[in-house]
Chain A
């Protein structure tokens, strides 16, 4: 019996494979009008999509002068993950759409799943080649786009968390602590065991600063509170997150404040009758009984300001650092367990930060090794906070892992 595969079988296989690859390569709702090359990334999932204007149009509070037409203005956003991750990248895209709505006719598009490294360099170059006036990068792309920016002085760039100065590049970082302090107040008021779990991604300054602010907030309403920090060394791994959540709950935590990551913390806390505090996500509909709070980010203020500056030929290079006062921080709806008293305190603190009458980092502040890190009468100036912290405040049980 001849067992050699016949031609049509090979053809079928080739077709099947081709079909599978196409399915893998197509994002959710591709439209025909692609503005950027799709070979910007080695990732098969990378797609180029014309951003939809529908969502943005609903939110036209910041629309510029009627009748103005910005169709000459081309803005490309480069996302490091999926536009539909429901967190970091979705937030950036929504902010981009607000910007789009503020400048009617603006040609706004995005590419997603662009990993830092060569794929990012290609994506920035492609965006420039496609005629972009402004390219926005949503993660630490600085070293991937630094040459592209240097070679194209007429194009403007905004990229998250950079520090090498370039005349046509703006860097932006969020003052997470402004939001995290409020989340800490909520957590401190809700815990009955006085143990709060805080799974952390990587031991970066920004991450530690948020953790410190959170703990200070929790201590304001509950001086006995203990914040248990565990470093996961991953931004996203639901199975590991689940085990971290279980481990924290087993150690007595009845409130978990997570960082980036998945909804598994909410699942675990809902099962145990505890509460979950999100991170830049409004997940109040998911396990609503367990939901407590989350600060949110809104980059549109910064984007819109910079576009206006570009139009006026007054672009602001260098690092911009923004929190509550700058309008970069917002809050998701609070959960049903948060009392009115706590909500009033949060409003007071928010107003205090905006007015400059409240300073969460006012000394004396001790770290959890017993050192006085901020002496009495001193603080960390707002502009310097970006560089803080490689220490954890007293009350945090956990250590920054050695490099």
Chain B
């Protein structure tokens, strides 16, 4: 049973969803503080190259993910500087970040001697649970067959939900994203909050990129995210800025890519271009559904001050 196509497909969807999940969680935190960062793709690429390099130097998965997170955060801080402090258009700044991140990662990855291209993966990624659990029928491969990072993704969802909803800092963060002026009046440091949230967004994307290259692809390649960052951006909208919904959405999108091949192998012809559009169509549908319904809109709508720069004296 554990080698049936269905079980294995679901198990590989779980792994494939992990980088999307980390990137989306980071973007949710950033968005909830009012900072829109479209540069997820660029931050993932930088996270990937820095993470792979660190993994190669140290052989440690932890250090590789940390380095990836730092790489993503570094790029995110450029965005914070532009978007929060200098108050440039966040869309423009975010899009620039994709190009800068892509170029920068390519530069780092190919300029070393020897370059990271076709460098072997020095990090051993091992399953987290003992073999007895992994061998359980069906649930073994699907729930227990993965490395620690997959489970950390779930922990991160719980942590993000708890922080956003149950802690004073989470409340402050959301206040900054809904009404920065009121938050400012209440003594919440708006700028510092937004910097922090943007950096967390970068860490999420960076970890996602590092995980993608080390655990999934197994080598570093130029431009290896190939659009996953954009799927994460769509997912954030789709999930209505809720971490739990992002988890479900990430699993669905992670499964979608593999679904095309599973269907082809089962001799069912579904155009894979169509499957690739699905995340974005789904995001459209949610936006449309939310826009017509005030009650739903309140629960799943974007933070009120999303993408709006805050200037105290401009009130």
If A24-B103, A26-B107, A243-B257 touch, does A263 touch B218 (CB 8 Å cutoff)?
yes
Least distance between B191 CB and chain A CB atoms (Å): 7
- Residues on B with beta carbons closer than 8 Å to the beta carbon of A236: 221, 223, 226
- Residues on A with beta carbons closer than 8 Å to the beta carbon of B62: none
- Residues on B with beta carbons closer than 8 Å to the beta carbon of A64: none
- Residues on A with beta carbons closer than 8 Å to the beta carbon of B218: 242, 263-264, 267-268
Contact in complex: A20, B217 (CB < 8 Å)? no
- Is A390 an interface residue when CB atoms closer than 8 A count as contact? no
Nearest residue, chain B, Cβ from A82? B222
If A230-B265, A238-B226, A240-B226 touch, does A263 touch B8 (CB 8 Å cutoff)?
no
Contact in complex: B106, A247 (CB < 8 Å)? no
- Residues on B with beta carbons closer than 8 Å to the beta carbon of A44: 99, 103
A243 and B14 CA atoms in complex are apart in Å by: 11
Residue of A20, A234, A240, A241 near B104 (CB, 8 A) is A20
Nearest residue, chain A, Cβ from B212? A239
Interface hits, B204-252 → A, CB 8 Å: 212, 216-219, 221-228
A92 and B151 CA atoms in complex are apart in Å by: 44
- Is A312 an interface residue when CB atoms closer than 8 A count as contact? no
Contact in complex: A3, B312 (CB < 8 Å)? yes
- Residues on A with beta carbons closer than 8 Å to the beta carbon of B81: 13, 16
- Residues on B with beta carbons closer than 8 Å to the beta carbon of A5: 85-86
Contact in complex: B100, A242 (CB < 8 Å)? no
Interface hits, B93-140 → A, CB 8 Å: 96, 99-100, 102-104, 106-107, 110-111, 115, 117-118, 120-121
Residue of A23, A250, A286 near B9 (CB, 8 A) is A250
Query: Interface range on chain B: under 10, 10 to 19, 20 to 34, or 35 or more?
Result: 35 or more
Contact in complex: B212, A283 (CB < 8 Å)? no
- Residues on A with beta carbons closer than 8 Å to the beta carbon of B267: 397, 399
Residue of A4, A20, A86, A244 near B117 (CB, 8 A) is A86
Contact in complex: A243, B100 (CB < 8 Å)? no
- Residues on B with beta carbons closer than 8 Å to the beta carbon of A3: 191, 311-313
If A247-B9, A262-B219 touch, does A398 touch B104 (CB 8 Å cutoff)?
no
- Residues on A with beta carbons closer than 8 Å to the beta carbon of B103: 21, 23-25, 44-45
Contact in complex: B217, A238 (CB < 8 Å)? yes
Residue of A23, A85, A232, A286 near B272 (CB, 8 A) is A232
- Residues on B with beta carbons closer than 8 Å to the beta carbon of A263: 118, 218-219, 221
- Is B78 an interface residue when CB atoms closer than 8 A count as contact? yes
Residue of B217, B222, B225 near A264 (CB, 8 A) is B217
- Residues on B with beta carbons closer than 8 Å to the beta carbon of A285: 118
Least distance between A97 CB and chain B CB atoms (Å): 18
A250 and B266 CA atoms in complex are apart in Å by: 12
A20 and B78 CA atoms in complex are apart in Å by: 10
Contact in complex: A246, B219 (CB < 8 Å)? no
Contact in complex: A239, B217 (CB < 8 Å)? yes
Contact in complex: B110, A82 (CB < 8 Å)? yes
If A20-B100, A24-B103, A250-B3 touch, does A239 touch B16 (CB 8 Å cutoff)?
yes
- Is A233 an interface residue when CB atoms closer than 8 A count as contact? yes
Contact in complex: A286, B100 (CB < 8 Å)? no
A20 and B120 CA atoms in complex are apart in Å by: 28
Least distance between A104 CB and chain B CB atoms (Å): 27
- Residues on B with beta carbons closer than 8 Å to the beta carbon of A401: 269, 271-272
Residue of B9, B258, B262, B272 near A231 (CB, 8 A) is B272
- Is A344 an interface residue when CB atoms closer than 8 A count as contact? no
Residue of B5, B110, B216, B222 near A251 (CB, 8 A) is B5
Residue of B219, B222, B311 near A286 (CB, 8 A) is B219
A285 and B118 CA atoms in complex are apart in Å by: 9
Residue of A247, A264, A286 near B265 (CB, 8 A) is A247
If A246-B12, A262-B224 touch, does A13 touch B111 (CB 8 Å cutoff)?
no
A321 and B218 CA atoms in complex are apart in Å by: 36
If A28-B110, A236-B226 touch, does A286 touch B120 (CB 8 Å cutoff)?
yes
A-B contact pairs, 22 of them (CB 8 A): A5-B85, A13-B86, A24-B102, A24-B103, A24-B107, A27-B107, A27-B110, A44-B99, A82-B106, A82-B110, A233-B276, A234-B226, A239-B225, A241-B217, A242-B217, A247-B261, A250-B8, A262-B217, A263-B219, A264-B218, A267-B121, A398-B264
5 A-B pairs with the lowest CB-CB distances in the bound complex, closest first:
A24-B103, A267-B218, A247-B261, A243-B258, A237-B226
